Structure 1
Amino acid sequence: MPQSILPTTEVIVAADCWQEQPEAEAVIQRAIVAAAETVAADVGEAEIAVMLTDDAGIRTLNSNWRGIDKPTNVLSFPALQPTGPRDEDDAPRMLGDIAIAYETMRREADEEQKPFDHHLSHLTVHGFLHLIGYDHETDEEAQEMETLEREILAQLGIPDPYADRERMN
């Protein structure tokens, strides 16, 4: 079986609050690799940009792109894909961008009593799955996406992020 080509991920720190988490880039890189390998995404030579921002930055993005004027934990922006055949001289295609907000993510991790890096891995995986076409608009889509998230995170040694929610139902 030929080895798949994993996407290249560039992590951009756009907010000083992320300086408190020097391992964030390594956590994100591991999560993207695990996600790409698990879903066997044939992304070929592709690139992803992950922006580590703060609540103010993600609030602006959320307002501008989704019309929701409040911060959120993660946003994904899949890139439009070319429709024609790829030439071997073409630059790697852009899968899209992921933005993750520090304060919201930190608050959620603390409230859910989860290690920061586990929650960062989960949000990264969630964002990556959106970039490759997964969504959670319907119950069926949400079930499929959450199943993949659980599988990917388990490979990283991270407990099921939805376990507490399901115990409460």
Structure 2
Amino acid sequence: MTNLTVDLQIACEADNLPSDASFEAWIEAVLQHLSCSTETELTVRIVDAEEGLALNHQYRGKAYATNVLSFPFEAPVPLPVNLLGDLVICAAVVADEAKAQNKPLVAHWAHMVVHGTLHLLGYDHINNDEAEHMEQLEKDILAALGYADPYADDHADDQH
């Protein structure tokens, strides 16, 4: 069991945002699945398309707002608390993708939080082996939370 602190920042006007407890439960599920048993802190910032575009352009050189950006924290010296980093999630992109993929909005939010948290923990999908491993972790964690396989349907619209 982890001692989790989530700094949730709502920096946009969006309907149907998940509750604070949902964000915490989704992150906790990732940490438990990976047997992370330490004090853990991270920030989740929910942004509008304008901020999502600016950040995606600045950090990835992409000219569009994306669903989730992960900024892992690397401490210059060991700290008593595991600061994972920051997740930036664009509410408008998540809503548009859920609609386009015919998925429940809350399920897509859960997927984006799980996906982003895995990135903060060092998982990636750059090559096929890494992508398959990360995708399986996502499926397993989301299934344990009661959500359907996010990759069962066409997910070609995902922009991460």
Flag whether TM exceeds 0.5 (same fold). yes
The CA deviation at 1:82 is 4.2
Unaligned runs of 5+ in 1: none
The CA deviation at 1:24 is 3.6
Aligned residue-pair number: 155
Written as runs of structure 1 = structure 2, the 5 A alignment for 1:85-104 is: 86=79, 90=80, 92-104=81-93
Superposed CA RMSD in Å reads 1.7
The 2-side partners of 1:97 and 1:125 are apart by: 13
- Which residue pairs with 1:159 in the alignment? 148
Higher helix proportion, which one? 1
The CA deviation at 1:103 is 1.1
User: Secondary structure at the residue paired with 2:75?
Assistant: coil
The 1-side partners of 2:152 and 2:84 are apart by: 30
- Which residue pairs with 2:32 in the alignment? 37
Q: Runs ≥4 in structure 1, deviation > 6 angstroms?
A: none
The 2-side partners of 1:126 and 1:83 are apart by: 27
Greater Rg by CA: 1
The 1-side partners of 2:135 and 2:17 are apart by: 28
Summarize the Cα distance change of 1:141–1:22 in structure 2 as closer, same or farther, 3 Å threshold. closer
Verify the 8 A CA contact 2:2 2:28 in the aligned structure 1: no
1:96-118 superposed Cα distances (whole Å, 9 cap, x missing partner): 00011111110110111111110
In structure 1, what residue type is equivalent to 2:89? I
The CA deviation at 1:64 is 1.0
- Which residue pairs with 2:13 in the alignment? 16
The 2-side partners of 1:22 and 1:64 are apart by: 26
The 1-side partners of 2:17 and 2:71 are apart by: 25
Q: Does 1:137 align with 2:126?
A: yes
The CA deviation at 1:165 is 3.6
The 2-side partners of 1:22 and 1:112 are apart by: 18
In structure 1, what residue type is equivalent to 2:44? V
Summarize the Cα distance change of 1:70–1:23 in structure 2 as closer, same or farther, 3 Å threshold. closer
Written as runs of structure 1 = structure 2, the 5 A alignment for 1:9-88 is: 9-17=6-14, 20-42=15-37, 44-84=38-78, 86=79
The CA deviation at 1:47 is 0.7
The CA deviation at 1:69 is 2.0
In structure 2, what residue type is equivalent to 1:79? F
